[in-house]
């Protein structure tokens, strides 16, 4: 039985986790049989890219078609490159800020764009703007004949109260702080070249992927496990299993348009921090203390109704992710040590 019809009760090893994140669901396999051309993943060296590249590779193999997956990054972590190559993903080291180097990249039909810079922005704002805006300028021009799925973020929206149910794609962007402004810049530059060259484009506004080695659930669960209080100043969040986020992003290759299609990608819940923390406490047989209650907070929340109508409900329910995450933390499972800072609402990262 496939991982997509029968979820395990726990995820005990990184191999098991990676297998879950990269098992292709049937509709993705069918899409690989349908779409023309190879796939290039730009910025594959980050937290999501490795599993997205391998997911695409496995879907192609399951479809029984000939199609390359090429991963491009600087490969700051050389292990990432080795792992991708071992799994059949070709790799091309490239600093995408270098226009001449971008010009040498193969003009592949399908582009998944994952480059981004967030943490460390404060004090190094110019590098964030260059990474989030100049790189799109290089890529948008070079890949004008391709179809482009571009990872963006729910941080381009204004902060909203939990009762809103999250921003839909129709809400006008109103980014807070330079990181979020640069992310809107990324979208606008891609849109400009899409409009200029009629390049099909899909902007994927993602809120918080969950992969057990990092993520909002890791951040909350770890605090509860260590007996540290949970701040309810930011009382709600959105999250989605990383396998589902990557699956939907790849499926978006068939939902690119010019002018751009915009899609919120996250889970169906406006998840309550209190609910999640109490669920962790129960699983740890521990207590949990809260601070910052009763503040009428505004926060980053997106409404994924459109994506869910398009692709169906995510395959891993929130409570299952919480159970997996609790077990992972209790067993001392590896952490990427990359906190999400999901409770930051002043735009400073
Ligand atoms: N993970 C989430 O929950 C989440 C939530 C919202 C939005 N997003 C967005 O989704 C995308 C993927 O997420 P992620 O978590 O995998 O991001 P990430 O960990 O920041 O990875 C992005 C990768 O892009 C590569 N990169 C950066 N500058 C580059 C350059 N000049 N040339 C070539 N490669 C470059 C880097 O790898 P190298 O160092 O190897 O080059 C980096 O690790 C990002 O755009 C992020 O903003 C993610």
> For position 51, which CATH number holds?
3.40.50.720
Judge whether 348 lies within some domain. no
Please say whether the beta carbons of 304 and 268 come within 8 A. yes
342 lines ligand 1 (CB under 6 A): no
pLDDT tens across 214-225, in order? 999 999 999 999
Residue 306's nearest CA partner among 339, 253, 250, 268 is 268
Name which residue leads in pLDDT, 314 or 124: 314
Average pLDDT in the 158-162 region?
A: 95
Q: Answer yes or no: is 231 within a domain.
A: no
CA of 131 to the centre of ligand 1 (A): 10
Give the closest residue (by CA) to ligand 1 atom 11: 114
Among 310, 206, 220, which Cα is nearest to 265's? Answer: 206
Indicate whether residue 192 lines ligand 1 (CB < 6 A).
no
| N-to-C CA span, the chain | 43
CA of 114 to the centre of ligand 1 (A): 5
- Atom 47 in ligand 1: residue holding the nearest Cα: 116
Count of Cβ atoms closer than 10 Å to residue 334 Cβ: 12
**Neighbouring residues of 260: CB distance < 8 A, sequence distance ≥ 6:** 187, 190, 191, 194, 201, 202, 203
The finding on whether 267 has its CB within 6 A of some atom of ligand 1 is: no
pLDDT-derived band at 5, boundaries 50, 70, 90:
low
Question: Residue 280 falls within a domain, yes or no?
Answer: no
Residue with tokens 């010019």: 258
Whether 289 is covered by a domain: the verdict is no
Does residue 71 lie within any of the structural domains? yes
Q: Is 128 in the pocket of ligand 1 (CB under 6 A)?
A: no
pLDDT, residue 136, reads 98
Residue 126 lies in a domain: yes
Short-list 203, 129, 154, 150, CA closest to 41:
150
Atom 43, ligand 1: residue with shortest CA distance: 46
- In the predicted model, what is the mean pLDDT of residues 317-341? 96
Cβ of residue 300 lying under 6 Å from some atom of ligand 1 = no
Measure 10 CA to ligand 1 centroid, in angstroms. Answer: 28
Measured from the Cα of 340, ligand 1's closest atom is 3
Atom of ligand 1 nearest to the CA of 117: 20
pTM, two decimals, is: 0.97
Burial of 73 (0-12, 13-18, 19+ CB in 10 A): buried
Q: Work out how many domains the chain is built from and give that number.
A: 1
Joined together, the tokens standing for residue 147 give 């179809």
The per-residue pLDDT for range 170-224, each reduced to its tens digit, is 999 999 999 999 999 999 999 999 999 999 999 999 999 999 999 999 999 999 9
The reply to whether 316 falls in a domain is no
203 contacts 152 by C-beta, under 8 angstroms: yes
Return the best residue to mutate from 100, 114, 243 for the ligand 1 pocket (most ligand atoms within 8 A of CB). 114
Q: Rounded to whole angstroms, how far apart are CA atoms 138 and 136?
A: 5
**DSSP per-residue letters across 168-234:** -TTSPP---HHHHHHHHHHHHHHHHHHHHHT--EEEEEE--EE-SSSSHHHHHHHHHHTTPPEE-SS
Residue 121 has pLDDT above 90, yes or no: no
Cβ of 41 less than 6 Å from ligand 1 = no
The parent domain of residue 77 ranges over 14-210+239-267+301-311
In a domain, 70, yes or no: yes
């Amino acid at each position: 039985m496939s991982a997509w019809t029968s979820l395990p009760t726990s995820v005990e090893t990184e191999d098991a986790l990676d297998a879950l994140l990269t098992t292709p669901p049937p509709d993705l396999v069918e899409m690989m049989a349908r779409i023309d051309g190879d796939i290039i993943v730009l910025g594959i060296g980050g937290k999501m890219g490795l599993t997205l590249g391998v997911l695409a590779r496995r879907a192609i193999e399951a479809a029984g078609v000939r199609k390359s997956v090429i991963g491009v990054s600087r490969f700051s972590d050389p292990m990432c490159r080795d792992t991708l190559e071992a799994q059949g993903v070709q790799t091309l080291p490239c600093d995408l800020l270098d226009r001449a180097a971008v010009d040498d990249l193969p003009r592949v039909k399908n582009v998944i764009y994952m480059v981004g810079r967030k943490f460390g922005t404060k004090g190094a704002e110019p590098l964030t703007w260059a990474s989030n805006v100049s790189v799109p300028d290089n890529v948008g021009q070079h890949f004008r004949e391709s179809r482009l799925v571009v990872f963006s973020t729910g941080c381009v929206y204004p902060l909203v109260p939990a009762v809103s149910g999250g921003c839909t794609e129709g809400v006008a962007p109103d980014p807070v702080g330079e990181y979020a402004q640069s992310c809107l810049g990324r979208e606008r530059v891609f849109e400009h070249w899409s409009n200029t060259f009629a390049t099909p484009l899909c902007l994927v506004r993602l809120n918080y992927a969950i992969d057990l080695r990092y993520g909002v659930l890791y951040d909350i669960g770890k605090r509860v496990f260590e007996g540290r209080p949970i701040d309810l100043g930011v009382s709600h969040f959105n999250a989605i299993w990383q396998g589902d986020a990557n699956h939907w992003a790849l499926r978006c290759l068939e939902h690119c348009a010019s002018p751009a299609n915009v899609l919120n990608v996250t889970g169906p819940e406006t998840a309550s921090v209190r609910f999640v923390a109490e669920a962790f406490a129960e699983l740890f047989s521990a207590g949990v203390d809260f601070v910052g209650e009763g503040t009428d907070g505004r926060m980053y929340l997106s409404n994924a109704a459109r994506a869910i109508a398009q692709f169906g409900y995510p395959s891993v329910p929130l409570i299952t992710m919480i159970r997996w995450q609790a077990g992972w933390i209790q067993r001392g499972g590896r952490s990427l040590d990359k906190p999400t800072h999901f409770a930051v609402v002043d735009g400073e990262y």
